[in-house]
Amino acid sequence: MSREAVRSSFSRCRKAVEALFPVLTAFFIVVLAGCSGQKPAAGGSAGDSTLVIAMLGDANYLNPVIGASVTSRNVYGLLYPGLLQSEFDTTSGLLNFVALERKLREEAPQSQQDKPRGALARTWKMSDDNRSITYTLRNDARWNDGAPVTSHDFKFTYTLYGNPVIASPRQQFLAELVGADKGEIDFDRAIQTPDDTTLVFNFYKRIPESLALFHTSLTPLPKHKWENVPPREFRHSPLNQKPLGAGPYVLQDWLKQQQIVLASNPLCNLPKPGNIPRIMFRVVPDYTVRLAQLQTGAVDVVENIRPEDFDGLERSKTGVEIKAVGLRVYDYVGWSNIDQEAYHGDGTIQPHPLFGSAKVRRALTLAVDRQSILDGYLGEYGVIASTDISPSLKWAYNDKVIPYPYDPAEAVRLLEEEGWMPGPDGIREKNGRKFSFVLYTNAGNARRNFASVIIQQNLREIGIDCQLDVQESNVFFENLRLRRIDAWMAGWSIGLEIDPLDSWGSDLEKSRFNFTGYRNPRIDELCELAKSELNLQDARPYWMEYQEILHRDQPTTFLYWIKEAQGFSRRIKGEELNILSTFYNIDDWTLSPSASVAE
C-alpha cells in the first residue's frame, strides 16, 4: 500500500469514526436516559421502612380472577379483601375458616385470637340440607375509592370466574353451583343477593360445610370498575395495571420484570393498614444471586433455600434465619403400571412387563436407600414418605403405615419369586426380557439429580439396569401427561383438601394425572365414600384404608416429604409461617431498625 493510499484510507477511516462517535455518544446518553426515565417517587431512604422479598419471576396478573402464579397470589392477596380468612390448625391439620363473628372450628387453639379480623363476612349459615350457604356481610367495608363492598360485587365476580372466554384457572371452585352438573351455571339461581349485605350460594347437591366455605370464598373485584369491560378484553384491560382493592396494601409501582412495590393502605379496615410501610417484591431469577443478596442484606426473604446452603446463610453477618413449614411437597419414582404400547395401540390395558406387578414395585421400593438420599441431601428437612397423604394432615394421616425399610436382600427375594433371575451379565432377566429401563427426570432440579444417581446405584446392586436421562421440564411433563415414559422421577405439591382421584382413579381418560396407569376399584370407592361425608373427620377411616392399600400396591415409590425452607432476615419480627403460605400474616410483620441494610 502506498503512503498516499494509507493516508487517504486513514483519513476516511478517521472521518467515519469521527462521524460515528457523536452519534454513538448521543445514543448512549439517550439510552441511559431512556432507562432512567422513571419518575422519582417521594419518600426517604428505603432501608428501615421497606421489606424486600426476592421472587423468581414477575407476577402475571394482579387480578384474582386470572392471576395464576404463586407470586401473583402472594401480591394480590395483600391488595384485595377476602370473604373469609383461613387458618391452618397444626394440631389436626385441618383448614379453618374465620368470619368476623364465627369460626368453622371454634375449638381450634389460635394464636390470632385477639387480633382484628379482616373477613368481609360477619357470619354465615349453612342450610339444613347442605345445599345452600347464606353469608351476612359487614356494612362498613369500602373499596379504596370509597364505594362500599357489597354482595353484588361477589355475584358479579363469580360470573367472571365462570366465564369460559375469560378462562379463569379457578373455575373448579364453581363446580357445585346450581347448573354446573348440566354444563352451564345458572348464576341467577346459583348466587342470590337479596340486599347489599346478604349473599346466598345454592348448590346442586349436598356438600360439606368446609367445602362450601372453601369454594365460595373466592376474592371479589369491584363491580363498578369492571362491569363495562368486555370479557374478550378482560385479560388485557388497563385496569389490571391499576388494581382497585381494599386490602392492607395498595399497589404503588409495578416495573415489569423488575419489581412490584406495595405501600401500606391507610384507608384499610380489613382489618387494618399493613404494619410495614412498603413491601417490595424484586425479581431475581438466578438462585445463586438470590442467595448472595440475602447474605448481604439486599433482600429480606428468599424462598426455597437448598439444604446445602443453610450453613453459609446462618453464618452470614447480616443474620439470616432458616424457617420451614409443613410437608406439602414430595418426590417419587413413578413406575408405569400398564403397558403403554398396548394402551396407545389398541387401548387395551395390560400390566407393564417390568413394573406391572405390585410385588416387583415393592421390591424396587425396598431396594432404594431413601435414608441415604435424605442424609446426603435434605438432612432434617426431609421425611421418608409412605403414601401421598402428608404427615402434616394429622386428621387423615395413618401412622400405622410404616415406610418400607432399605432391604436389598428382601428385594432380591421378591424379584426372584416373580421370576426375575440374574442373567449372564449380572442383569436380571425373565422370559428373555432384561430388567433394564430409562429413568427420566426434569432438568434443573439438583435434589432429584442427587437422588436419581443413588437410585441408579441401589438398583444396580440388585441386578437392575437403570439409565438416567434428563429432559427439559416442558418436554418432560408433556411426555408424562401423554403416558409416554415407563419410569420417571418427579414430585407433587399437594392441596390441603384431600382429593386424590385425579392421580389414582381407574378411569384413565378422566384421571389426567394418573401417569402410572394404576387401577384399583377399592381406591375409587374409598375416594367417593370420603367425598360423600358431610363432616370431613368422618372420612378418616376411608383414608386409613386408602393409605394401607397404596402402601401395599406401591403404584409409585414414594420417596420423601420435603420441608420447604425459607430464609428470613433477622430484622423481620412477628412472622408466623404456615403451611398455607410463607407470607401468611405479612401485614402483621414489623421491621426492626438495622444498620446493615443498604440505604
Partner 1 sequence: MLIYIARRLLVAIPLVFGVLTLTFFIIRLAPGDPAALFIQPGISPKVADQIREQYGLNDPLLIQYVKWLGSVLQGDFGRSFSRAQQPVFDVIAQALPVTITIALLTLAANFILGIFIGVISAVKQNSYLDRFLTVGALFFYSMPEFWFALMMIIVFALKLQIFPASGLNEVGAESYGPFRFLLDRLWHLVLPVTVLSINGAAGIARYVRGSMLEVIRQDYIRTARAKGLPEKVVITRHALRNALLPVITLMGGSLPFIFSGALFIEVIFAFPGMGRVTVEAIFARDYPLIIANTFVSGTLIIIGNLVADVLYAVVDPRIKL
The answer to whether 42 contacts partner 1 (rule: CB under 8 A) is: yes
CA–CA distance, 189 with 201 (Å, rounded to integer): 8
Among 125, 206, 236, 315, binds partner 1 (CB under 8 A): 236
In the range 54-83, which residues lie near partner 1 by CB under 8 A?
Answer: 57-58, 60-61, 68
CB of 226 to partner 1, least distance (A): 16
Asked if residues 378 and 371 have their Cβ atoms less than 8 Å apart, the reply is no
The answer to whether 446 contacts partner 1 (rule: CB under 8 A) is: no
Which residue bears the cell 404427615?
Answer: 391
Among 113, 257, 348, 431, binds partner 1 (CB under 8 A): 257
CB of 326 to partner 1, least distance (A): 18
Question: In sequence order, what are the residues at sequence separation of 6 or more whose Cβ sits closer than 8 angstroms to the Cβ of residue 203?
Answer: 130, 131, 132, 176, 177, 178, 190, 212
Judged by CB under 8 A, the number of residues near partner 1 is 83
Binding range to partner 1, per CB under 8 A, among 31-39, 367-375, 519-527, 557-565: 31-39
CB of 56 to partner 1, least distance (A): 10
Asked if residues 170 and 218 have their Cβ atoms less than 8 Å apart, the reply is yes
In the range 415-444, which residues lie near partner 1 by CB under 8 A?
Answer: none
Kindly tell me which of 47 and 319 has the beta carbon lying closer to partner 1: 47
Q: Quote the crossing angle between the two packed helices 540-553 and 358-367, to the nearest 10°.
A: 80
In the range 159-178, which residues lie near partner 1 by CB under 8 A?
Answer: 164-165, 167-172, 175
Find the Cα–Cα–Cα–Cα dihedral 441, 444, 448, 451, rounded to 10°.
Answer: 110
Report CA-CA distances (Å) from 38 to 34, 253, 255: 8, 11, 10
In the range 283-322, which residues lie near partner 1 by CB under 8 A?
Answer: 283-286, 288-289, 292-293, 295-296, 298
Kindly tell me which of 45 and 112 has the beta carbon lying closer to partner 1: 45
The answer to whether 26 contacts partner 1 (rule: CB under 8 A) is: no
CA–CA distance, 349 with 356 (Å, rounded to integer): 11
The answer to whether 483 contacts partner 1 (rule: CB under 8 A) is: no
Binding range to partner 1, per CB under 8 A, among 120-128, 199-207, 275-283, 415-423: 275-283
The answer to whether 16 contacts partner 1 (rule: CB under 8 A) is: yes
**CA-CA-CA-CA torsion sign (191, 194, 197, 202):** negative
In the range 488-507, which residues lie near partner 1 by CB under 8 A?
Answer: 492, 495, 499, 502-503
CB of 12 to partner 1, least distance (A): 6
- Run of H or E residues at 562: strand 556-569
Alpha-helix residue ranges (DSSP H) falling in 184-324: 187-190, 209-216, 223-226, 287-296, 310-315
CB of 321 to partner 1, least distance (A): 19
The answer to whether 410 contacts partner 1 (rule: CB under 8 A) is: no
CA–CA distance, 104 with 59 (Å, rounded to integer): 32
